[in-house]
Structure 1
Amino acid sequence: MSLQEKSPLINEGTTAIKGLTIVTAGVFIVGEMAGSGVLALPKAVADTGWIGIVLIIVCAMASCYTAIILGRCWMIIQNRFPRYKEHVRYPYPAIGYEAFGNSGKHLVTFCVNFTLFGVSTVFLLIASENIQSLISHSLSFCAWLPVIAAILCPFTWLGTPKDFWAIAVGAMSATVLACLLMFIQILMDISINPDPHHSNTSFKKFFVSFGTILFAFGGHAAFPTIQHDMRRPADFKWGVMWSYAVIVLMYLPVAASGYFVYGDKLETDPNGDIILAMLSPGGIATTVTVMITAHLTFGYIIVINPLCQQVEEWLGVKQEFGIKRCIIRSIVVACNLFVAETIPHFGAILSLVGGSTVVLLTFVFPSLFYIRLLTMESDDGPQVIALHDRVIHYEIILIGIIGGIASTYSAIDDMASGASSFTVPCYVNASAAHL
């Protein structure tokens, strides 16, 4: 028996000659997750009160922990089933399959693909709206949508995360700079907001905002794909820890300062750029908008990649670069574009379904699958999980369920009260303009 065969249940994993390092994996995590979430956090803190700042820290810790647990799940199935040490296009659904069979696989596949498709569509929408505000008010953001989609499309043809690490660096750099400048501008706005008022929270506002905070830490849909592309997948936890530290250092100053400076002046902007709408106009605010837009365009390429790989797996397309890959991924981008043109304000649907799938992928499935994989019968035998570990996992699952219910309730209530704006599709407006 070889040394590899004698290794414990979670060992060092397969070491690839080429692949992501701890640093580049962390860069991908920051580039994929941070950015759009930070825009909503000041309003979330305003609706929860100062306890929202504590919630951000607690949710960050819980999300970081489940990301590490998800990485352990991937190591478990790689060590139990050697076929997963080769390139796998669907690592998260594979974890669900080994834990709960086809039902687990199909549920994870739906959650991953719907979340990635929804988030990438929203990225496309917000980027188009920002570019319209920066470049041309005479050209509608509906007209900018196909332009941006066409520009981004060739970059989606890149194979896996290890093939476009420079894009992840760009996404992270843009977000870091945007958060730094936002924090500076908020501090400069103290003079025009000398006595901010903070309204009292309510049960509804608190839990709706709680769901927003959970959503801000929901990047797990792409994590197994990033881990699988690492030189040493067992080192994924180190990339997770340093990247979450960076994310918290970006989130907290903007969220806390926005709450203390603007107070209840924070209003939900129809485009979702909540904090951007509060910044005083000027060079800093313009630069922040440019950086956020850069993050969204870079992040689009990162987020849509696992979805494209899954579609290629369904259709039996080879992993090597070729015309079929280009065609299929172009069709996925076209579908994104069609949905964006059909529902110009995608926020309500994303909150209703995407919010629930995000919290399932982030706070429910990792702990649930981990407990199942360790306790199920295997060649290694079932593992004993300490009582305190079980309690931690069950608490995280409960947090995820509450967050999902809060997000779903928020969307339903918005639609029932008419707060959400389902505008006419872009192509209908275009047709009416020619009449």
Structure 2
Amino acid sequence: MSEIRYSKDAEAVSLINADGQPKKTATGLNVLTTCVFIVGVIAGSGFLTLPKAIDDSGWIGFVLILFCCFVSAYTGDILGKCWIMVRGRHPEFKKGQLRYPYPAIGEEAFGKWGRSVVSFSINFTQFGTTVVYILLSAENIVKLLPSDTVFTCCYIALIVGGAMTPFTWLGTPKDFWGIAAAATLATSAASIILFVSVLYNGRDVDISEVVHTKIDVISFFTAYGTICFAFNGHPAFPTFQSDMANPKKFGSALILGYSIVLFMYMPSSAAAYAVYGKQVQSNVINTIPSGVTSTIVSLLMTAHLLFGIVIVVNPVSQEIEHFFNIPEHFTWKRVLARTLTMIAALFVVASVPHFSSILSLVGGSTISILAFICPCLFYLKLCKGDKHHKAVYIPLHTKVLMYEITFTGLVAGIAATYSAITDLAVNKFTVPCYVDPSRACSHQSAG
């Protein structure tokens, strides 16, 4: 069995009573606060981009949303069970929160290569999500400015990144639960307002005459990647669970969190699909008429995205800090490492023209790996046991379901990744910001 290293600094905070049971402390997240983090890390970009994804994939897009929601919640719970098993095998992990629980699960299951796959996928996913959030924030802010403003998306993105960098210096999720709560409330309010706005604006629309996008293979699998991205949360889930006072209750937080997210997504997405059809844009806010309603939705969603930047970049920061052996307590080394991470994200923001392309690429590639493939394979491997640990019985129907999820995630992920790369290379090439700082927002320059 491979040796899993852990940070001795984590022993400073004990969450275990003398009888070995989780101890309820002020530093541990409960089910409700964990649910808030789950909603905060998932909802956001999906709320803005799902209407377009549904139009690109047709009515079956609604089936894909339900499928991705169910499978993501199921594999999230499986991932949580994996973490409980790993903690049980390594008593040292019970002495405090671990900065990198998902890679630790991968190493326990498949050794160093399992850890490497997870680490790369998490860093690519969360880094890409940070880029998407910065781009979407910049686009929403530009929409709120006067039409003759000299501040383009390129300039606003730099301002957004600079303004949010100090907040990324906060330690782990338990240190900024208020940010997650604010992000969740902002998205909840925006989803209700957008739904009402779309219905009001479409009150005179004959739905039977609405024209929808002609579906092709590229658009369908690109839409699939976008939908996968809309339920992205697995890279951060083990981090949240590790910070819980009772990690065994993570499944309850997942069920509640995904139910809330689905309730946010479906009504406004269905309304926009029915009313606007092919006129819906990659960012649905750019589709609704300008006015007080669109301004309020833009402000709320921008607030969520800004808060979300702090949440999604945190796992990347913790992995980098572990690699360079940076202490867990606040030091200048943490400030430097996390600032450089944000600078790298801003460089990608300035280089890649369209958030929708990044979103589809990340959703089809590493999110499929982290959400569909790894949880099932890790659980199946851990349950086999070894000479040091007893095997755990898995019913046949559960095994079949996990293999089906793995196969579906692999095939669809490959197709979505290829489609996103093709779409970016063929249809959405634009010069980077450092070549043309006056470059318009993605929705204005898209072909």
**Are 2:190 and 2:297, in contact at CA under 8 Å, matched by a contact in 1?**
yes
Structure 2 matches for 1:82-161, cutoff 5 A?
82-85=91-94, 86-136=96-146, 137-161=149-173
> 214-223 vs 110-119, which deviates more?
214-223
Structure 1 residue 431 displacement after superposition? 11
SS at 2:35's partner residue?
helix
Matched residue type, 2:280: L
Q: Do the aligned residues in 1 keep the contact of 2:154 with 2:438 (CA within 8 Å)?
A: no
- For 1:70, the aligned partner's letter is L
Deviation of the 1:83 alpha carbon: 1.9
* Structure 1 residue 163 corresponds to structure 2 residue 170: no
**1:60 aligned to 2:72?**
no
Q: Is 1:30 aligned to 2:52, yes or no?
A: no
User: Which residue number corresponds to residue 199 of structure 2?
Assistant: 187
Matched residue SS, 1:276: helix
Does residue 70 of the first structure (1) align with residue 84 of the second (2)? no
CA distance in 2, matches of 1:352, 1:17: 39
* 1:344 CA drift (Å): 3.9
2:181 and 2:29 map into 1 onto residues whose CA distance is 12
Displacement of 1:263: 2.2
1:355/1:126 CA distance change after superposition, 3 Å: same
Instruction: Show structure 1 runs of 5+ residues with no match.
Output: none
Report the secondary structure of 2:435's partner residue: helix
1:250 aligned residue: 264
Secondary structure in 1 matching 2:286: coil
- 3-state DSSP class of the match of 1:429? coil
Moved more, 382-391 or 192-201: 192-201
Tell which deviates more after alignment, 144-153 or 312-321: 144-153
Q: Which residue of the partner structure matches residue 301 of structure 1?
A: 310
**What residue in structure 2 maps to residue 400 of structure 1?**
409
Aligned equivalents of 1:141 and 1:206: distance in 2?
28
Q: Deviations over 1:281-318 (max 9, x none)?
A: 21111111111111110000000111111111111111
Q: Please give the alpha-carbon distance, in whole angstroms, between the structure 2 residues aligned to 1:311 and 1:203.
A: 38
Distance 1:354 1:199, change over 3 A: closer
Can you list the C-alpha shifts for 1:13-47, whole angstroms capped at 9, x where unaligned?
A: 56555211100101011111111012221222223
Alignment of 1:250-289 (within 5 A): 250-267=264-281, 272-273=282-283, 275-289=284-298
For the 8 Å contact 1:359–1:400, the answer to whether it is kept is yes
What CA distance in whole angstroms lies between the structure 2 residues aligned with 1:262 and 1:12? 54
User: For 1:417-428, what aligned pairs fall within 5 Å after superposition?
Assistant: 418-421=426-429, 423-428=430-435
- Deviations, residues 245-280 of structure 1 (Å, cap 9, x unaligned): 10000111011111121223334xxxx41x212212
- Measure the CA separation in 2 of the matches of 1:426 and 1:121: 14
Shift, 1:354, TM fit? 5.4
State how far apart, in whole Å, the 1-side matches of 2:252 and 2:54 are.
29
Residue 239 of structure 1 is matched in structure 2 by: 253
Task: Show the counterpart of 2:10.
Answer: none
Taking the aligned partners of 1:319 and 1:376, their CA distance within structure 2 comes to 32
Q: Check whether the contact 1:212–1:407 (CA below 8 A) recurs between aligned residues.
A: no
Residue pair 2:229, 2:359 contacting (<8 A) in 1 also = no
* SS of residue in 2 equivalent to 1:427: coil
User: What is the deviation of 1:322?
Assistant: 1.6
- The equivalent residue for 1:220 is 234
TM-score (norm 2): 0.88
Q: Distance in 2 between matches of 1:170 and 1:357?
A: 28
Relative to structure 1, the CA distance from residue 39 to residue 279 in structure 2 (aligned partners, 3 Å threshold; closer, same or farther) is same
Distance 1:340-1:199 versus aligned 2 partners, 3 A rule: closer
Q: 1:170 to 1:29 in 2, by over 3 A?
A: same
Tell me which of 243, 258, 264 is aligned to 1:229.
243
One-letter amino acid of the counterpart of residue 153, structure 2: F
State the shift of 1:78 in Å: 0.3
Q: Is the contact between residue 226 and residue 363 of structure 2 (CA under 8 Å) also seen in structure 1?
A: no
Using the alignment, how far apart are the partners of 2:233 and 2:409 within structure 1? 14
Aligned to 1:197: 211
TM alignment of 1:16-27, pairs within 5 A: 16-27=25-36
Q: Does 1:206 align with 2:225?
A: no
1:325 corresponds to 2:334: yes
Code of the residue aligned with 1:156 in structure 2: it is T
Match of 1:363 among 361, 369, 372: 372
Counterpart AA for 1:297: L
| Distance in 2 between residues matched to 1:322 and 1:165, nearest whole Å | 21
**CA RMSD for the aligned pairs?**
2.2
| 1:210 and 1:406 in contact (8 A); partners too | no
2:262 corresponds to which letter in structure 1?
V
Q: What is the rounded CA distance, in whole Å, between the counterparts of 2:144 and 2:375 in structure 1? A: 40
Q: Distance in 1 between matches of 2:359 and 2:280?
A: 21
Q: For 2:150, what is the secondary structure of its paired residue?
A: coil
CA positional deviation for 1:212: 2.3
Secondary structure of 2:203's partner? helix
> CA contact under 8 A between 2:136 and 2:355: conserved in structure 1?
no
Q: Which moved more, 1:389-398 or 1:376-385?
A: 376-385
Report the AA paired with residue 181 of structure 2.
Answer: V
Q: Distance in 2 between matches of 1:210 and 1:65?
A: 18
Unaligned 5+ runs, structure 2: 1-15, 440-447
SS in structure 2 of the partner of residue 262 of structure 1: helix
